[in-house]
Amino acid sequence: MKYLIIGSGGREHALYWRLLYDDSARQGDVYAAPGNGGIADNYRVDLKINDFPGIEKFCIDRKIDIVIVGPEAPLVNGLVDYLEQKKIPAFGPSKAGAMLEGSKLFAKTIMNKYKIPTAGHIEFYDKDELIKYIRSVKEFPIVIKFDGLAAGKGVGIPESTNEALEFIKATVKEDTKVFVEDFIEGEEASILGISDGNDVITLVSAQDHKRIYDGDKGPNTGGMGAYAPAPLVDNKKLSKIYEEILKPTITGMRKEGIPFKGVLYAGLIIKGNDLKVLEFNARFGDPETQVILPLLNEKLGGIIEKSINGGIKDYRISFKDKYAVTVVISSGGYPGDYEKGKEISGLDDLSDNIIAFHAGTESRNGRLYTNGGRVLNITALGNDLMEAQNKVYSEIDKIKFDKAFYRKDIGHKALEYFKL
């Protein structure tokens, strides 16, 4: 099988790694467009993720069997539909299916119609109405969300009327579709399922760490680290999530005439037995993928084929009885302004049991440089979470570049709250 992976982050390097090393695809059979410094130059394709004709031409020239779409933007823009029209199999939802991520209000409509548990919300199509409503709110925090894709920046959780008004002033334009959601307390977990449009299989649970600083402080990022499985989600909860969230969403989408294929990622908030969907994504999570794929027992390529061609219902998936931790090393200043082009050293000194997934890296003349906010994902497995965490943190300082930054507490929630 020949694969082309679309994207350039840690998630895409993890997909590449998994197909090549654990699925045993042959060198030369897995390409990434545009990829990053972790992918050999010969297998990087100099194409933009939304250059559909360019992607099509590459697939025809190189006889690619399956395109795997990493990020949300090309999905929401219809890459899977485009390739399918050209008879090139692609993994991921159609443009209409990807609206579960592309329009939070569409997702809310589906959740409410099919009784999928989620927070209550009120929609606003007029900025003055929104401001009037905010002035009437008595209890904070509240959650203010934008409807469309906003690269993680479309959510505000103001603690007071003034904070809410400032957030609106800074971010909401006259034509921004906005909704206000009830704030729900609890712990977050990411549950990813893979669907063929009819049924869905559930992957091992994971937890992301979205804030930049230790103790979940500071601004949101794309994700500073993750671990799997999340002890918060035991097998009973995982079955409940399948029955009450993943399966009804897939069934609901089919009833709407929009069969959803690919990854259905449910971002959940959990308190005791109460589960609610905070958001859906229509793709693999980043950095969750960097801890989920190393734990997978089956071949990723086989699951992807089932998603495209059908047969997920009878697929038995299993995961290693281990834990995985990944810690993101970012450029100093991220998620605000940061510099690129810093030389990276130390990767060759990492022990064999560490996997370094690249994200914002670029290789030039045999040297490696930073090229983004999130630079590397240092990953390890362990028999328990602490062992995996210790392995990562005992090695991570071997990696050096100017102003490198990482959180020191990835996995802390599980270790503190669940006394593992």
Considering only 118, 202, 205, 281, the residue that binds ligand GLY (CB under 6 A) is 281
Q: Which stretch binds ligand GLY (CB under 6 A): 142-150, 236-244, 283-291, 342-350?
A: 283-291
Query: Binding marks (x or -) toward ligand GLY, 216..255, rule CB under 6 A?
Result: -------x--------------------------------
Among residues 14 and 59, whose Cβ is nearest to ligand GLY? 14
> How do beta strands 90-91 and 30-34 pair?
unpaired
Nearest to 43 by CA among 22, 60, 24, 64: 64
Q: Give the helix/strand (H/E) hosting 176.
A: none
Among residues 35 and 267, whose Cβ is nearest to ligand GLY? 267
Among residues 134 and 282, whose Cβ is nearest to ligand GLY? 282
Shortest Å distance, C-beta 143 to ligand GLY? 16
Q: Which stretch binds ligand GLY (CB under 6 A): 285-293, 365-373, 387-395, 408-416?
A: 285-293
Nearest to 76 by CA among 59, 57, 97, 60: 97
Whole-number Å distance between alpha carbons of 232 and 221: 22
Residue count (the chain)? 420
Query: Binding marks (x or -) toward ligand GLY, 163..202, rule CB under 6 A?
Result: ----------------------------------------
Whole-number Å distance between alpha carbons of 351 and 23: 22
Q: How many CB atoms lie within 10 A of CB 403?
A: 13
Which of the residues 141 through 160 are near ligand GLY (CB under 6 A)?
Answer: none
Q: Residue with structure tokens 């008004």?
A: 165
Shortest Å distance, C-beta 72 to ligand GLY? 8
Size of the site for ligand GLY (CB under 6 A): 6
The answer to whether the peptide bond before residue 219 is cis (omega within 30 degrees of 0) is no
Q: Which stretch binds ligand GLY (CB under 6 A): 175-183, 211-219, 282-290, 315-323?
A: 282-290
Q: Which stretch binds ligand GLY (CB under 6 A): 1-9, 173-181, 281-289, 373-381?
A: 281-289
Considering only 288, 305, 395, 409, the residue that binds ligand GLY (CB under 6 A) is 288
Would you call 115 helix, strand, or coil by DSSP?
coil
Nearest residue to ligand GLY, by Cβ distance, number only: 285
| Token reading at 265 | 């990622």
Nearest to 350 by CA among 388, 383, 394: 394
208 lies in the binding site for ligand GLY (CB under 6 A): yes
Q: Which stretch binds ligand GLY (CB under 6 A): 63-71, 278-286, 357-365, 408-416?
A: 278-286
Helix axes 104-113, 247-255, angle to 10 degrees: 100
**Chain centroid, CA 343 distance in Å:** 27
Among residues 223 and 229, whose Cβ is nearest to ligand GLY? 223
Q: How many CB atoms lie within 10 A of CB 367?
A: 11
Q: Which stretch binds ligand GLY (CB under 6 A): 129-137, 279-287, 306-314, 394-402?
A: 279-287
**SS (HEC) of 183-211:** CCCCEEEEEEEEEECCCEEECCCEEECCE
Which long-range contacts does 124-128 make (Cβ < 8 Å, 24+ apart)? Answer: 124/177, 124/178, 124/179, 124/180, 125/177, 127/168, 127/172, 127/173, 127/174, 127/176
CA dihedral 260, 72, 329, 322 (to 10 degrees): 10
Q: Which stretch binds ligand GLY (CB under 6 A): 280-288, 336-344, 347-355, 384-392?
A: 280-288
Shortest Å distance, C-beta 230 to ligand GLY? 13
Which of the residues 48 through 77 are near ligand GLY (CB under 6 A)?
Answer: none
| Token reading at 177 | 């579709």
Shortest Å distance, C-beta 356 to ligand GLY? 19
Residue ranges binding ligand GLY (CB under 6 A): 208, 223, 281, 285-286, 288
